[in-house]
A and B are shown apart, each in its own frame.
Chain A
Amino acid sequence: MARLEIGQIIAVIKEKLPEAVVEEILDGVDPFVVVKAEQWGETAQLCRDDSRLGFDLLSCISGVDYPEREEGPEIEVIYHLDSTVNHHGITIKVKLPRSDPRVASVEEIWRTADWHERETYDLVGVIFEGHHNLVRILCAEDWVGHPLRKDYEPPDSFHGIKNVIY
């Protein structure tokens, strides 16, 4: 297959899943589309399996906390997909309510997602539904809270070790 421009990639997604794409921001350095959270699982499957898209590589999963959005407090999960066959890529964002951030796990689709989703869960607190082992990966097993949330307050001590010097 051939390399597709960002507009063509979106067209392929819309052809199969007309409801999935809710927003397109294509003028930035890193153009992205926003996908409806409920349809992210199907979209991911489509992105990998459709031969025109051929996204066989999940480069990165990130989570960002936006507590003061106009639409209400949100957490964004950002997926960077690349195709080693077609030599194109896309950035997909999924917006989740901050009070209960849940999204489908894509661990079964790309094995890379296993640890990336655990990291996003550990630091931002997104629940990836369907993940086989969603436990903390970086912080200690019994750590409390998700450190990269904007309102996170570090503990004064952890297991008796003082954490505040000044």
Chain B
Amino acid sequence: MNEIENRNPDPLTKNVIFMSAIDDVINATRANSVWPLTFGLACCAIEMMATGAAKYDLDRFGSGPFRGTPRQSDLMIVAGTVTHKMAPRVKRLYDQMPEPKYVIAMGGCVIRGGPYVKHGYHVVKGVDLLIPVDVYIPGCPPRPEALLEGLFKVQKLMKREKILDRTRRTTKPEVYQPV
């Protein structure tokens, strides 16, 4: 009997050793404490705020502390129209986030330009021209339930992560270099 076992007074768990794949442990912690970046570009951000507020309550699902800096975030919810003027800023925020990082494209504008697809000279026709996107949520804007569903999809992706596999991020080439 070593020192640790002596300190445990519970006879049932006294001699039990808990074993699990390290991936599962890390992924479970990661998927249940998703920290999104505080980041809203247009009207979709209103729905994102509603998702975080009391009625839809993002915190129930192991997410919610919207961080004020990309360095503390692992999820970027691109909520709203990405303009050409904003594009370098979005790209820079994404680059500042630590790996592994995930991106949700929320709403029609972010997916393919939405209503601006033909005549919107100032709109980037899809944020995936700038940064790799994991989950697309259509809608104009999507309802909070849709954003929650998108978050679950991201959590599923997180649970598939392998700690030694660093290739998933690099499958999509960087297409855009800001000036």
Contacts from A to B (Cβ < 8 Å): 138-140, 143, 147, 152, 154-155, 158-166
Q: A139-B85, A140-B85, A166-B118 are in contact. Are A161 and B179 (CB under 8 A)?
A: no
- Interchain CA distance A143-B122 in the complex, whole Å: 10
CA distance A161 to B84 in the complex (A): 8
> B87: shortest Cβ distance to chain A, in Å?
6
Interface of B is mostly: loop
Q: Is the CB of B121 within 8 A of A160?
A: no
In chain B, residues 64-99, which have Cβ atoms closer than 8 Å to a Cβ of chain A? 84-85, 87-88
Residue B28 lies at the interface, judged by CB distance under 8 Å to chain A: no
B112-132: which residues lie under 8 A (CB-CB) from chain A?
112-113, 117-118, 121-122, 124-126, 129-130
Closest to B124 in A: A161
Q: In the complex, A161→B124 CA distance in Å? A: 7
A148 and chain B: residue at smallest CB distance: B121
- Please indicate the chain B residues that have their CB under 8 angstroms from the CB of A154 in the complex: 121
CB of A161 within 8 A of CB of B121, answer no
B177, CB-defined interface residue at 8 Å: yes
Secondary structure of the A contact surface, majority rule: loop
**Alpha-carbon separation in the docked complex, A159 to B177 (Å):** 8
23 examples of A-B residue contacts, CB within 8 angstroms: A138-B122, A139-B84, A140-B85, A143-B84, A147-B121, A147-B122, A152-B121, A154-B121, A159-B178, A159-B179, A160-B176, A160-B177, A161-B124, A161-B129, A161-B130, A162-B125, A162-B129, A163-B124, A164-B125, A165-B113, A165-B117, A166-B117, A166-B118
Name, among A138, A139, A140, A161, the residue most crowded by chain B CB atoms within 10 Å (CB to CB): A161
